[in-house]
Amino acid sequence: MRFLITGGAGFLGSTLANRLVRDGHTVHVLDDLSNGQRAYLDASVGFTQGDVNNVPLLWSLLQDVDCVYHLAARVSVAQSILYPRDYNAVNVGGTVSLMEAVRATGVRRIILASSGAIYGEQENQPVVEADRPQPDSPYAASKRAAELYVQTIGRLSQIETVILRIFNAYGPRQSMPASHSPVVPRFLYQVLTGGSVVIFGDGSQTRDFVYVTDVVNGLVSAAANKNAPGHIINIGSGAEISLNQLVEAIAQVTGKRVTPVYNREKSGGVGRLVADISRARSVLGFEPHVSLIDGLRRLWEEDERFRF
């Protein structure tokens, strides 16, 4: 198959792109390199630096493409609170621009990488796809809006659409900015460098941490599966892990003693969030294979930023 991956030079996109070319597919990546790096990509992956809102550029890249993976997005919850217009422009506007170009060029299928963040606070756990989204940040709201645009334009234009709500993905090459970096690489780096592991709240809040190769397996399955179009599908590990348990797991893997510092004056986000992955199993044949302990060990061993 011939694929275009928007945001394909980032953490998740580059892992997907490299997997697809190893499987014998033709892959081209569009990325503005605001977070990704071209060096992450295999030499056989085509690359264009550009903006997902550039519709004429999208037209040129979408010729003869069978399937699009739409991963281009801004992803920081905290940053989205400060800059909601930017998140709307990229996450919503970029999605609409891409859907217009997909419609004009006759691409058969689009797969949107959405987020488990759209669920917000839910009374029942694990969350299922039928639960009513309750976005609690501009980031989450922008991803929900992107879902609705993909579904609506897809339905009106007979485009096959698959929406994957990806939970807390982690793994090598995950972006780790100075502020608001993702919790797994941040905690691991703090432990390895002897710094304080700062936890917002009391650490009892839970998340679903899913290793990047398991996420990519779900993405790959969504491209060719004849039953996937029209579905919204959770992609997670199905395991509920508290931040306190995450710190304990990092201590176990690294062999280092960890004493967390709790900042109870700052919110730790929703109290609980874990994915029900029954639909992923039944529709995609998805099964997570990498446990948290194994994933942390792989991250430590394979990401050069943690080689001290």
For the chain, give every domain's residue range. Answer: 2-170+210-236+274-290
Residue 265 has pLDDT above 90, yes or no: no
Beta-strand (E) ranges in the chain? Answer: 2-6, 26-31, 46-49, 67-70, 109-115, 160-166, 168-170, 198-200, 206-207, 209-211, 232-235, 241-242, 261-263
- 139 given a catalytic annotation: yes
pLDDT of 267 reads 80
pLDDT of 274 reads 98
The whole-chain average pLDDT of the chain stands at 96
Query: Which CATH number fits the domain 2-170+210-236+274-290, given the four candidates 3.40.50.150, 3.30.470.20, 3.40.50.720, 3.40.50.300?
Result: 3.40.50.720
Residue 308 has pLDDT above 80, yes or no: no
Residues forming beta bridges with residue 144, ordered by sequence position = none
Residue 178 has pLDDT above 80, yes or no: no
Residues 6+ apart with CB under 8 A from 175: 10, 11, 35, 75, 181, 182
One of 87, 139, 170, 211 is an active-site residue; which one?
Answer: 139
pLDDT, mean of residues 182-199: 94
- pLDDT tens per residue across span 97-156: 999 999 999 999 999 999 999 999 999 999 999 999 999 999 999 999 999 999 999 999
Give the least confident one: 2-16, 106-120, 166-180, 272-286: 166-180
pTM: 0.97
